[in-house]
Amino acid sequence: MEKSASQVPGVLCADLNFAAGTLVVDYDPQSDPRAAIVAVVRKAGHGVQPLSGEPEGAASTPPPTWWQSSGHSATVGLAAALLVAGWVLGLVHGATAETAAIAMWVASVAVGGLFLVRRAVGSVRARMLDMNVLMSLAVVGALAIGAFEEAATVVVLYSLGQLLESRALERTRRSIGDLMRSVPATALVRREGAEVELPLTEARIGDTMVVRPGERIALDGVVRKGASAVDEAAITGESVPAQKEPGAAVFAGSLNTSGLLEVEVTALGADSTLARIVYLVEEAQAQRAPAQRLVDRFTRWYTPTVVVLAVLVAVVPPLLGLGTWGSWFYRALVMLVVSCPCALVISTPVAIVSAITRATRDGVLVKGGAFLEIAPTIRVVAFDKTGTLTCGRPEVTDVIPLDGTDSAAVLRLAAALEAGSTHPLAEAVLRAEGGAGGVADLEGFEDIAGRGVRAKIGGHVYSIGSPSMALADAEVVGAAATRIAELEGSGKTVLVLSRERVVVGLIGVADEVRPESREIVEQLRHAGITHMVMLTGDNERTAAAVAAHAGVTEFRALLLPEGKVDAIAELRELYGPVAMVGDGINDAPALAAADLGIAMGAAGSDTALETADIALLAPDLRALPRFFSLGRRTVANIQANVVFSIVTKAAVLLLAVFGLATLWVAVFADMGVSLLVTANGLRLLRRHR
């Protein structure tokens, strides 16, 4: 289809998305060849319609009649009825009945083979040998030697197989489309004091959207009033509703289960999180996985080779006096049917499409089949600490004044310094201080990446940051060093507040380890991941305490962002392919450096959705073992499909050479295997327990 469309004048390139059933064409707008492209597609025997939003000029040709539609059940049903009628007449003795039976079989070939021949002609024009060409040659050859019954049987079985295959593949296309259909067509918006039901196209960013209990949220937004539990399973895969309060983000397509919400719209239809996810899934499904590219290259020489062998089988033996021309010609026809590479070609994409769809349902966005194939090769998983192994919401647990400063002053000065920082630890200090008291304006504010901040307050230079920063900037006396060691030993992160090289206070901050972390680490270990490593900018003592609680095998502490990149390279050298799990923003360099970058809690992050190889849409590590399990099952599924296809083809080809296979057996072997590998690939759509 790509090749035929590319040959239309004015077309620059054409790309067919197997999973979505869409043909995307770049063309010269001055020539506007869309109508010609539609005509070419229909001439090849395929149904076609413009995408929603395309102008009518894209479909200026009349719609296809029922007999032109690919795999139409009425066509297959009529062809099958004529075939059976021929069989019934064949049971009646007499020349008239025999002639009538032949007429039924020829009619069956004419009806069932119509779109087969049309597709074959299109392939020949594109100078390609595909299964339609090979099957057409076999049917014509069978008619030429008087094998009318077998010709009709071949056509009916092939058409039935195509119909069942297209119906099966339609399941994967519907599953992604169902996501977008979960978004309501209208939104209840408050305008000028009145609540108005508006189409989504008329909504504006900043509108206040009213969502009643039991209704689906129509647009992305932020809760401004009300509280409710919202079912976000369509986006994150989480079955338990998430509690939403003022300030919380909500996504289009999610279900408001309890309270009344007033939501400020932050993104319109095509920019919603759900729309971006669907778009990225379709892009991922359109990409050819390494295994698929290998199969494509194999079939480029496989099909012509088998056609040449079939010609040799038809010609050489009778020339050598080893049999009749009719016998060897029939064997060659069987070889043509068996040589159709449809089962082999479809074995990989149907598995990849099904797996990506299953992952999306589980709240895991996979950016392409290649990453599913990488998953089984991973031997080490590196975790960021904050927000990944921990809950990502650190809280102040200890405020220890030193040098005569009281606790309130320590917290107030720390909050003043941290007010300009977006680090999670800074947010914890600001929450603890609560804005109870103010300090003078800062002068000469300096943010020291990965270590802390420094500024002048009331004529004195203050700094707050890690103990390593304090060691460089201040004199850490014995009492302070002892308290720092105690806090770090209990798994807390210590912020040191200094004034003019003198430590005036310590703040202990703790980030709770996710309760599922140890269980997830154990599941990954059972899944064949040999090493789990935690990467953190925290100190050795805190890192050791968190690592022990989470169950990881080792940790690397005191790492700046570039240090995490170096750690990834070192882990790859030691253990093999590395997966990095982080928040997708702060850990972007490490995620990019890893063989597999996995962003966690990415549903609300544009950056994570766009840059990560894999995105866990919910902030929940339990999706991680499911992804690695899916990767292993996908690769095993592809391997089984490819091996089964090749072995079956080889066996039937061998039988054909020795005259032990008939045409209808060859069709069973061809379309039967195609249906089996399709069904096997579709098994990946099911949730694995």
CATH code for position 538 = 3.40.50.1000
Rounded Cα distance, 563 and 542, in Å: 18
Residue 465 belongs to some domain of the structure: yes
pLDDT, tens digit, 9 for 90 and up, residues 275-295:
777 777 777 666 666 766 776
In a domain? residue 648: no
Does the pLDDT at position 674 exceed 60? yes
Burial of 12 (0-12, 13-18, 19+ CB in 10 A): exposed
* Shared-domain flag, residues 424 and 563: no
Cα gap 563→650, rounded to integer Å:
53
pLDDT top residue among 149 and 285: 149
Q: Quick one: 366 and 471 in the same domain?
A: no
Instruction: Indicate if the pLDDT at residue 506 is higher than 60.
Output: yes
**Residue 558 in this model has a pLDDT that exceeds 60:** yes
**Residues contacting 419, CB < 8 A, separation 6+:** 426, 430, 442
> What are the angstrom distances between the C-alpha of 206 and each of 85, 186, 219, 225, 479?
67, 16, 11, 14, 53
Whether residue 519 sits in one domain with residue 505: no
Sheet bearing 364-366, strands edge to edge = 364-366, 614-616, 596-600, 578-582, 380-384, 531-535, 554-556
pLDDT(381) > 90: yes
Under DSSP, is residue 17 helix (H, G, I), strand (E, B) or coil? strand
Pair 477, 531 in one domain: no
Closest CA to 282 of 182, 179, 198, 408: 179
Do 475 and 528 lie in one domain? The reply is no
Please give the pLDDT value at position 263: 92
pLDDT value for 26 = 92
Residue 654 lies in a domain: no
Helix, strand, coil share of the chain (percent; to 5): 55, 20, 30
CA distances from 375 to 366, 372, 618 (A): 11, 5, 20
The verdict on 382 and 521 lying in the same domain is yes
Tell me how far apart the alpha carbons of residues 353 and 516 are, in angstroms, rounded to a whole number: 30
Q: Which of 384, 473, 595, 620 is an active site residue?
A: 384
Distance between CA atoms of residues 573 and 565, nearest Å: 13
The CA distances from residue 319 to 316, 324, 326, 567, in Å, are: 5, 9, 12, 69
Q: Quick one: residue 363, left, alpha or beta (phi over 0 = left, psi -120 to 50 = alpha)?
A: left
Whole-prediction pTM: 0.72
Token couple for 117: 């021949």
Beta strand 493-499 pairing with 502-510: antiparallel
Active site residue 384: yes
Q: Is the pLDDT of residue 60 over 70?
A: no
Q: Which helix (H) or strand (E) holds 626?
A: helix 623-657
Last residue of a domain, one of 215, 241, 271: 271
Residues 518, 505 share a domain: no
Please classify residue 650 by burial: count the beta carbons closer than 10 Å to its beta carbon, then call 0-12 exposed, 13-18 middle and 19+ buried: exposed
Domains in the chain, number: 4
Q: Does a structural domain hold residue 549?
A: yes
pLDDT of 159-183, one tens digit each?
A: 777 777 777 667 666 666 666 667 7
Cα–Cα distance for residue pair 457/438, rounded to 1 Å: 11
Domain assignment present for 434: yes
- Residue 193's φ and ψ, nearest 5 degrees, are 80, -5
Q: Which of 40, 56, 72 is the last residue of a domain?
A: 56
Are 401 and 382 in a shared domain? no
Alpha-carbon distance 498 to 391, whole Å?
A: 29
150 vs 397, higher pLDDT: 397
The 8-class DSSP code of residue 284 comes to H
Read off the pLDDT of residues 257-280 as tens digits, 9 standing for 90 and up.
Answer: 888 999 999 988 778 777 777 777
SS (H, E, C) 34-63: HHHHHHHHHHCCCCCCCCCCCCHHHHCCCC
Q: How far apart are CA 474 and CA 45, in angstroms?
A: 80
Where in the sequence is the domain holding 212, given as residue range(s)?
186-271
Cα separation of the two ends of the chain: 39
Q: What are phi and psi of 396, to 5 degrees?
A: -70, 125
The helix (run of H) or strand (run of E) holding residue 281 is helix 273-286
Domain boundary among 510, 539, 558: 510
- For residue 439, the model assigns a pLDDT of 57
pLDDT at 476 (0 to 100) = 67
179: β partners: none
How large a percentage of the chain has pLDDT more than 90?
A: 11
For residues 487 and 566, state if they share a domain: no
d(CA 353, CA 372): 11
457 in a structural domain: yes
Does residue 451 share a domain with residue 381?
no
Domain CATH for 262: 2.70.150.10
Instruction: Classify residue 258: in a domain, yes or no.
Output: yes
Q: What would the two tokens of residue 36 be?
A: 């010609």
Q: Return the structure tokens found at 278.
A: 């669907």
pLDDT of residue 22: 82
CA 155 – CA 113 distance, rounded (Å): 6
> pLDDT at position 173, please?
62
What stretch of H or E contains 178?
helix 148-181
Average pLDDT, the chain: 81
Residues 528 and 612 occupy one common structural domain:
yes
Structural tokens at position 213 = 């209990």
Residue 34 maps to which CATH number? Answer: 3.30.70
CATH number at residue 451: 3.40.1110.10
Closest CA to 42 of 150, 144, 103, 119: 119
Residue 316 lies in a domain: no
Instruction: Note the pLDDT of residue 532.
Output: 92
526, 629 contact by CB (below 8 A): no
Q: Are 493 and 542 contained in the same domain?
A: no
pLDDT tens, 459-489? 888 888 888 777 776 666 677 888 888 888 8
Q: pLDDT tens, 121-140?
A: 877 777 777 777 877 887 88
CA distance 619 to 179: 20
Residue type, 43: K
